[in-house]
């Protein structure tokens, strides 16, 4: 998609986050949304080649709505100020490992994925896999492309060791994780000056495939 018009629209939306302003420019939004759907379909098709476990619904079904759920939020702005999509084996189901892309101005562009906040059973399974196969995960995290785009695994962590593991466990720092994510942040300048942003997203996703497969294998075992 054309990123400069998208950033222009979203920047203006940030300053005019209300229904009358948005409705007057709904045609512009619909056009930008259609372009993003085309990109999402491209990313889905490329991901399906890289990671066959992503053979779920079509890419456009992986796109999040721009409308915010404000029922339980102090922020009552009705619209998100970014476009985003999440690719997994079951559409945008966030309860399974997957690949995420978010595009927005003011430093709100990122490409990432993994598994954010697995449930208790899933978390136990991932920690068990780390306990059994830490060398495999560490090799994934040390891979040149993973290091290039992400640097390290991110995600919320416990301050103390999990109850099932000793504080002197050799992999205790990995086991403290409650979320297992990888995030590639991009500045506005990097996004807008990129020669082929759509291809860049695929390259970043490709670097994350072994990581997502490790997590998915742990919870599906």
pTM over 0.85: yes
Q: Residue 112: what pLDDT?
A: 97
Cα–Cα distances (Å) from 196 to 3, 50, 191, in that order, read 11, 19, 9
Residue 58: is its pLDDT beyond 80?
no
- Read off the tokens for 198: 């759509």
More confident site: 62 or 16 = 16
The single residue listed with the structure tokens 């590639």 is 184
Residues 14, 22 contacting (CB under 8 angstroms): no
The pLDDT confidence band at residue 92, using thresholds 50, 70 and 90, is: low
More confident site: 74 or 135 = 135
Q: Residue 103: what pLDDT?
A: 98
Q: Residue 72: what pLDDT?
A: 87
Which DSSP state fits 64?
P
- Per residue in 149-207, pLDDT (tens digit) is 999 999 999 999 999 999 999 999 999 999 999 999 999 999 999 999 999 999 999 99
- Read off the tokens for 106: 């003011």
Report domain 3-220's class: alpha beta
Considering the chain, what is the average pLDDT of its residues?
94
Domain ranges (residues) in the chain: 3-220
The single residue listed with the structure tokens 């920690």 is 127
- Read off the tokens for 31: 């056009």
CB atoms under 10 Å from CB of 7, counted, come to 19
Which DSSP state fits 87?
E
Span 88-94, mean pLDDT? 70
Q: Residue 96: what pLDDT?
A: 87
- Per residue in 22-54, pLDDT (tens digit) is 999 999 999 999 999 999 999 999 999 999 888
- Per residue in 108-122, pLDDT (tens digit) is 999 999 999 999 999
Cα–Cα distances (Å) from 5 to 28, 31, 33, 85, in that order, read 9, 10, 12, 19
Residues 80, 66 contacting (CB under 8 angstroms): yes
Burial class (CB in 10 A: 0-12, 13-18, 19+), 55: exposed
- Read off the tokens for 50: 């890289």
Q: Residue 1: what pLDDT?
A: 84
Q: Residue 125: what pLDDT?
A: 97
Lowest mean pLDDT among 16-20, 64-68, 91-95, 160-164: 91-95
Residues 215, 53 contacting (CB under 8 angstroms): no
Burial class (CB in 10 A: 0-12, 13-18, 19+), 165: middle
Q: How many residues does the chain have?
A: 221
- Read off the tokens for 117: 């906040």
Residues 124, 194 contacting (CB under 8 angstroms): no
């Amino acid at each position: 998609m054309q990123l400069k018009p998208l950033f222009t629209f979203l920047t203006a939306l940030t300053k005019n986050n209300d229904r009358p302003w948005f409705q007057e420019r709904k045609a512009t939004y619909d056009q930008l949304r259609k372009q993003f759907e085309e990109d999402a379909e491209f990313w889905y098709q490329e991901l399906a080649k890289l990671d066959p476990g992503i053979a779920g619904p079509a890419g456009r079904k992986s796109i999040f709505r721009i409308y915010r759920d404000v029922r339980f939020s102090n922020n009552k702005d009705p619209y998100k100020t970014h476009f985003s999509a999440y690719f997994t084996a079951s559409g945008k189901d966030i309860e399974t490992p997957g690949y995420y892309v978010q595009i927005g101005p003011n430093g709100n562009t990122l490409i990432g994925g993994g598994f954010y906040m697995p449930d208790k059973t899933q978390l136990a399974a991932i920690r068990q896999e780390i306990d059994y196969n830490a060398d495999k995960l560490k090799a994934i995290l040390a891979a040149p492309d993973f290091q290039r785009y992400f640097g390290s695994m991110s995600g919320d962590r416990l301050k103390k060791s999990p109850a099932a593991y000793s504080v002197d466990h050799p992999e205790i720092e990995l086991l403290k994780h409650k979320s297992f994510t990888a995030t590639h942040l991009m500045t506005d300048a990097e996004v807008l000056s990129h020669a082929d942003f759509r291809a860049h997203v695929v390259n970043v996703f490709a670097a994350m495939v072994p990581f997502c497969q490790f997590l998915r294998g742990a919870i599906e075992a």
